[in-house]
Amino acid sequence: MMNNINYKKKIAGLFLIALLWFSAVPAFSQKATVISPNKKVSAALFCQQDGDIGNWYLHLSYTSTNETKEVIPRIDLGLSRSDQDFSKELKFLKAGKPFLINEQYTALHGKRSQCSNSANEVVVSFENPGKAKLNLIIRAYNDGVTFRYEFPEKEGSFVVKDELTSYTIPPKTKRWMEKWDMANEGPYSLIKDENAQQTWSVPALFSTDSICWYLIHEADLNRTYCGTKLSNVADKSSYKLTFPDPGDGKGESQPTITLPWQSPWRIIVMGSLADIVESTLIDDVSTPSVINKTDWIKPGIASWNYWSSNHGTKDYKIVCKFADLAAEMNWPYTLLDWEWDAMGNGGNLEDAIKYIYSKGVKPLIWYNSSAFKWVTATPVDRMSTHENRVEEFTKLQKLGIKGVKIDFFLSEKQDLIKYYLDILDDAAKFEIMVYFHGCIVPRGWSRTYPHLMTFEGVRGAEWYNNGPEFTSVAPEHNTILPFTRNVVGPMDYTPVTFTNSQFPHSTSYGHELALSVVFESGLQHFADRPEGYYELPDAAKTFLKEVPNVWDNTKLLSGYPGKDIVIARQKGDAWYIGGINAEVRREKTKTIKFDFLPEGVKYKLTLIADGEHDKEFATQYMVVDKSSTVEVKMLRRGGFAASLKPINN
């Protein structure tokens, strides 16, 4: 009875918020509400007009400690098709009964191995003045809200002229965003000017009160649509989904659809900062794996010569040095980056592959997507058609190449989405893993195609080669990525660089070591030159030999975007912790609580923290359990890494 009373109080609070909000508009009509299984997240469907016909939008709320708060006051809905409009004067037909989605699945790589797709769903049906039908599918999850459009009719092919989905963001909302960039490689930062109007990449993070946070993204994008971004150019408070720019020479920006059709899921991850960081919602809603046999999919860490030697793969001896590095560090892979077709100085590709295998390491290899003819890095035109891919993958399979890195897509138009997915389909037939670079950010494809190991789609360590500005912005940017870009899927930042490339670091050695845990990627390319790792103290070197890159569980221990983060990840019985500090003016001491550990088990803690200066480590060993706490000092722009291994009694 008490639970029922509390539930009614929460619902009453929800409707009170709705009434307060809608007192500002001429009239409204509520037609459906979907509430998450844990009763914290709610989406209510309203009509602008008083009745069953008009403009429709969603209102999102969040309940915490018996208080219900408005999160997004209005998400405008609708689509415009080449034949007719589905945004104005939509007539409400019916709302189906809520039903529970409850699906469990296993992820081969990512922040959690055992995942749950559990939500309450309602399907709402409309028709437009021409009697054509549109469904809105709404789900409320414990960690967010998702919705998608559906044209249920069986015949017809049309162009989607525009999508009217638009998120109203109240004034004073804090927002951490990336200005739109073709390769999704802009820096993330706190947008200090709330009046800033432009186009933004997804995902984007928002908070009004630091109690409820929300991250806007999309998932389950397939060949029937294009990727979208956010724009508040027309209205500073309204972030509208927009199609790719038409001027990049890669086909039409407006997607063509064939009925019946469903849009990608529109995603709002909601809750505490821990809910955001730990969420697998992007993958949860995406199409289950289409790969039946998966024993050939092997996540792992790779050595990579591009960061320190831009044209390094042209040099057989450099390739061998990085194979030696991978062998010495117990990493399973080394990547042959661009220009491997011009390899010289003692050997060619076949010689390099033979040497790599002799060291107990396996090769990965780079290709130009050839999506843009002005990008001439070789090899080119070997991935651009199905016939070319089959020919190339046949050769690679015989050579023992385990994965391909394909670069320079630089577009999210429908034809490029088809290209990405065609590559994944063909690679699977030859049991070759895939890594996309210069590309889209994840949209849940790692669930559908588990051999898709990682994406770039981030301003990573490569940018130390591109200009001096990354030196100053990296500490803040690094502490925002776990709350934004890395939430939505694997991210190959190419981390853990101690030496300097063209432009120097400002981060400490402790900060760099921590990135091996803070950032998640199914293929993790550690980017420093061999001596950068060989010259490390034994504790740090051992840590990098042992640290996993595939996790059974992830927990945010503390943090705030742009300030600092401490994150714990579990693999088997062991835990690994990474913490980084973005502050440029002050050191920090963080108190680490181990209350996430199981009861009654003692662990050996190896803590590798900042030393007296930014190129020095301070290592401690101790025994801890669930009740323990440890204080850790981080320098300015500093950090630490730790491992926890159970002690056998």
Q: What value does the mean pLDDT of the chain take?
A: 94
- Tell whether the model's pLDDT for residue 245 goes beyond 90: no
- What pLDDT digit, counting tens, does each position of 297-329 carry? 999 999 999 999 999 999 999 999 999 999 999
Give the pLDDT band of residue 248 (cuts 50, 70, 90): low
Tokens of 360: 């107990």
CA separation for the pair 597, 408 (Å, rounded) = 43
Shortest CA distance to 437 belongs to which of 563, 304, 242, 309?
Answer: 304
- What pLDDT digit, counting tens, does each position of 36-58 carry? 999 999 999 999 876 789 999 99
Q: Delimit the domains of the chain by residue range.
A: 2-284, 300-536
SS3 4: helix
User: Which residue is it, tokens 């790589």?
Assistant: 109
Helix axes 349-358, 386-399, angle to 10 degrees: 50
Identify the CATH assignment for 2-284 out of 2.70.98.10, 3.40.50.720, 3.40.640.10, 3.40.50.300.
Answer: 2.70.98.10
- What pLDDT digit, counting tens, does each position of 544-592 carry? 999 999 999 999 999 999 999 999 999 999 999 999 999 998 999 999 9
CA separation for the pair 215, 271 (Å, rounded) = 9
Work out whether the CA dihedral 445, 446, 447, 451 comes out positive or negative: positive
- Which CATH code is given to the segment(s) 300-536? 3.20.20.70
Name residues whose C-beta falls within 8 Å of residue 429's C-beta, 6 or more positions apart in sequence.
393
SS3 394: helix
AA letter at 548: P
- CA dist 558 → 25, 277, 499, 564, 639 (Å): 40, 11, 29, 8, 13
Helix axes 386-399, 414-429, angle to 10 degrees: 40
Tokens of 606: 């190896």
Give the pLDDT band of residue 210 (cuts 50, 70, 90): confident
Cβ atoms of 449 and 415 closer than 8 Å:
no
Count CB atoms within 10 A of the CB of residue 394. 12
- The gap between the terminal CA atoms of the chain, to the nearest Å, is 46
Is the preceding peptide bond at 475 cis, omega within 30 degrees of 0? no
Tokens of 303: 């050595």
Give the pLDDT band of residue 233 (cuts 50, 70, 90): very high
* Residue 249 confidence (pLDDT): 55
- What pLDDT digit, counting tens, does each position of 144-182 carry? 999 999 999 999 999 999 999 999 999 999 999 999 999
* Residue 571 confidence (pLDDT): 98
Helix (H) or strand (E) holding 148, with range, is strand 144-151
Instruction: Report the pLDDT averaged over residues 181-210.
Output: 94
User: Which residue is it, tokens 């989607």?
Assistant: 160
Instruction: Report the pLDDT averaged over residues 394-416.
Output: 97
Q: What is the pTM of this model?
A: 0.94
SS3 265: strand
Shortest CA distance to 569 belongs to which of 644, 631, 635?
Answer: 644
* Residue 66 confidence (pLDDT): 76
AA letter at 518: V
